[in-house]
Amino acid sequence: MWGSLNIDKAYYFLLVTLAFLLPLTVFGGNVVIVLICALWLISGEYKSKFNQIINSKLMIASILFFCIHVLGLIWTQDLEWGLHIVHKMWYFIGLLPILFTIMKKEYINNCISAFLLAISITEVASYLVWFELIQPFKNATVENPTPFMSHISYNPILAFAIYLVLHELLFNKKITNLVFSLYSFFAVSMTINMFITGGRAGQVSFFVMLAILIFQVLDKKRIKSLVIIFIVIPSIFLSAYQTSDLFQKRINSAVHEVTQFSQIENPSNIIGDSNYVGAVGYRLIFFINSWDIIKNNPIIGVGTGDFVNEYKKVNLINTPGLVSTSNPHNMYILVLTQLGLVGLLSMLSIFYYQIKLSYKSSNKFIRDVGITLPLIFLVLMLSDSYLLGHYTTLMYVFFSSFLYKNFEKY
């Protein structure tokens, strides 16, 4: 068996590689994850790993969240779909605890650099497609250039990357002139890229992280922070609205759908090609229909696999003119329908411990980023099930593995 030094080198290489592949490829990321898990299983020191996990309230909360999904199989009618959901939740019992036990403080900077390098590659590819210098590939179109993943995942990840770049610019006093210039360029180009791609949830999270960053820069000057926020954010929004046709179109569409939806007298009359139905309209309908399920099963939900069938029943009564769905595009609603208040409180406990642990950190970077990550996701999850998607969940888990670890303790 390898010595501990060789194992550490292997872990370091695999973690940096995973950080780089995270926003680029599902297959590549999964291959590295398999290698990390295999090495973890054969590398011994099981007592030390176990102690790290059970001594972390965040890890326990994460494992319990997964276990509640497994328990939810007991009262589900659709076991096959339930197992599908449990499979998607494996990050919380498998990958997060494993990464947590192998992460070391000295790996962090290079992991973040690898992640930002990969984001810069996705950004360059996005611009090349947008300027029609290369043919659109994979998910990209000229109108919505997100080549490596859909805009649903791309924009939230881009927003978090912009935050990391801006935090480095604003708080790293040892940054060299060359790095400062490079990061400044990418901060501007990434921000522009945010609004030539179509992920509205990511754009909202961009404004959220910007507000958080302003509070962090001005620290306890809350009134001044609010004044700057009310100047900076509307200015960026209006500039993007005036200069980006896609952003303007997406905003106008959202406003139109909400306005039209508010005028509906009888939701059952809605048909699939009406003006009321679009991405936002559908989400409002999903919420209303799902609420009927939640009211009847408030404590433990309908079971891990029964959202699809239960929603179909309600949809036939409330909105028979619309197709049913397997996902309400809201993480809170999905967990509430499947696992009730028990499941929701379990999920929220993860975010609670993240924020609580961040406030205890003496390292400003760890404290600031550790608070920002859960706050961004708490907002994102209002518009989609962001703890089910590969790219966003992997980013969330990867950064959680070191932001909330007390390295001095191990």
The answer, yes or no, to whether residue 153 has pLDDT greater than 90, is yes
DSSP state of 45: -
The answer, yes or no, to whether residue 260 has pLDDT greater than 90, is no
Cα separation of the two ends of the chain: 23
Instruction: Output the pTM of the full model.
Output: 0.94
What kind and span of H or E run contains 127?
helix 108-130
pLDDT at 406 (0 to 100): 87
pLDDT at 268 (0 to 100): 60
Q: How far is 253 from 246, CA to CA, in rounded Å? A: 10
Q: How far is 118 from 155, CA to CA, in rounded Å? A: 14
Per-residue pLDDT tens for 285-322? 999 999 999 999 999 999 999 999 999 999 999 888 88
Q: How far is 362 from 343, CA to CA, in rounded Å? A: 32
The answer, yes or no, to whether residue 1 has pLDDT greater than 50, is no
Q: Are 311 and 325 in contact (CB under 8 A)?
A: yes
Instruction: Name which of 314, 349, 289 is nearest 68 in CA terms.
Output: 349
Quick check: helix, strand or coil at residue 305?
coil
Instruction: Name which of 280, 209, 203, 285 is nearest 237 in CA terms.
Output: 203
Please give the full DSSP string across 209-233, using - where no structure is assigned.
HHHHHHHHHHTT-HHHHHHHHHHHH
Provide the residue count of the chain. Answer: 410
Q: Are 355 and 374 in contact (CB under 8 A)?
A: yes
The answer, yes or no, to whether residue 38 has pLDDT greater than 90, is yes
Q: How far is 316 from 17, CA to CA, in rounded Å? A: 47
Q: Is the dihedral of CA 64, 65, 70, 74 positive or negative?
A: positive
Q: Are 18 and 398 in contact (CB under 8 A)?
A: yes
Residues 6+ apart with CB under 8 A from 4: none
Instruction: Name which of 146, 149, 151, 150 is nearest 136 in CA terms.
Output: 146
Instruction: Name which of 235, 248, 162 is nearest 198 in CA terms.
Output: 248
Q: Are 269 and 320 in contact (CB under 8 A)?
A: no
pLDDT at 2 (0 to 100): 54
Q: Which tokens belong to 339?
A: 């696992």
pLDDT band at 276 (very low <50, low <70, confident <90, very high): low
